[in-house]
Amino acid sequence: MTEVRRTAAITGVHAWAPDNVVTNARLEQMMDTTDEWITARTGIKERRWMEEIGQATSDLAVKAVEGLLKKTGTDPMDIELLICCTATPDMAFPATANIITDKLGMNRTAGFDLSAACSGFLFGVNTAARFIESGMYKKVIVVGADKMTSIMDLQERSTAIIFGDAGGAVLLEPDTDGYGIIDGIMCSDGIGRTYLCQKAGGSLNPASAETIARKEHYIHQEGKAVFKFAVTNMAGVAEEIMERNGLTAGDVQWLVPHQANKRIIDATRERTALPEEKVMVNIQRYGNTTNASIPLCLHEWEPQLNRGDNLIFAAFGGGFTWGSLYVRWAYDGAKALNLSDVKPGQLNLIP
């Protein structure tokens, strides 16, 4: 008798971004940059910034999780585990996961944060899958959220143009029909830790007047070096997961890349030989939202996703970290959203 494999299927997705749109034209007023430069080097036209005082990463996450619970008709008390993937926690501790569950009254849910920079959401889904496959949990939420503006020097043109704020979440549940997270690859190499980091505020360089004067509480990114590693590794790992699962470009319905830079996305697409129309790209509207970028894509494309679609997720981030997932989509998005007639290109757009 063949043993039935229990997998973790994504059974719902939701995302949220602040309605405050920051265009390249506004950045032109704030710093020495141009719409042409930003568009050509990154593909970004606008991003959303959370500029209200007192708002944090947990607020982005709460909006995403609230929407997810509502959409999927899930009782918050049934969620057994919530993993919050973030590079911008509300505080160093406690975990932002605990703040999210408290804000949503989920006091029976276990929670922890996962830190893997821009690969965090992908690592989080892969981790959550193991809890479900082992039989330990039946309902797990993975939320990726980042208030990147909280660690950005808003006057510094090499980073301020790239990042945006957002949150996105998925619900994972067991499946025995061959849908869900089929395979996952997670990689890291500490050689990258100096190229993309936040130098102060941790135990090595606790925050002080000096670290603030040196602006070490902001993101430090050596863009060119990060770019080179990102292109090679994100494209390489997407190709590897396809190869080891016997998938060719024709078998894959969607590539879901972390939205780091349009040029990095293009390199990944070329390496996997997928046509442009099979690649989720919304970097032009949200910029790089770090842990939220993959669920933000899934949310926008949800009406076009069908049961049985093969999806390849790919990400690269600080650390360095990178990875890929092979996901067999478990439900018809349009049906779940009660949309009777989905036209190609119709997205589940955030207002």
Q: Which is nearer to ligand UT7, 49 or 316 (CB)?
A: 316
Q: Is the dihedral of CA 78, 81, 83, 89 positive or negative?
A: positive
**CB of 78: closest distance to ligand UT7 in angstroms?**
34
**CB of 32: closest distance to ligand UT7 in angstroms?**
7
Question: Residue 55, class by beta-carbon neighbours within 10 Å (0-12 exposed, 13-18 middle, 19+ buried)?
Answer: middle
Closest CA to 345 of 300, 308, 315, 312: 300
**CB of 223: closest distance to ligand UT7 in angstroms?**
3
**CB of 293: closest distance to ligand UT7 in angstroms?**
8
**CB of 15: closest distance to ligand UT7 in angstroms?**
17
Q: Which is nearer to ligand UT7, 179 or 322 (CB)?
A: 322
Helix/strand/coil for 166: strand
Q: What backbone phi and psi angles, to 5 degrees, belong to 210?
A: -70, -45
SS3 percent helix, strand, coil of the chain, rounded to 5, is 40, 25, 35
**CB of 318: closest distance to ligand UT7 in angstroms?**
6
d(CA 264, CA 279): 12
Q: Which is nearer to ligand UT7, 58 or 288 (CB)?
A: 288
Q: Which residue is nearest to ligand UT7 (CB)?
A: 223
**CB of 261: closest distance to ligand UT7 in angstroms?**
4
Query: Tokens 């130098």 correspond to what residue?
Result: 199
Bridge partners (DSSP) listed for residue 328 = 180, 310
Residue 266 parent element (H or E): helix 262-272
Q: Are strands 140-146 and 81-85 parallel, antiparallel or unpaired?
A: parallel
d(CA 194, CA 302): 37
Q: Annotate 82-113 with b (16+ C-beta within 10 A) or e (fewer).
A: bbbbbbbbbeeeebbbbbbbeebebeebbbeb
Q: Which is nearer to ligand UT7, 184 or 317 (CB)?
A: 317
d(CA 256, CA 93): 31
Q: Which is nearer to ligand UT7, 126 or 293 (CB)?
A: 293
Q: Which is nearer to ligand UT7, 43 or 303 (CB)?
A: 43
Q: Which is nearer to ligand UT7, 27 or 84 (CB)?
A: 27
- Helix axes of 223-244 and 262-272: crossing angle, nearest 10 degrees: 30
Site for ligand UT7, rule CB under 6 A: 33, 37-38, 41-42, 118, 157-158, 161-162, 196, 223-224, 226-227, 230, 260-261, 264, 288, 316-317
d(CA 180, CA 192): 31
Residue 127, token pair as written in the block: 């981790």
Active site residues: 118, 258, 288
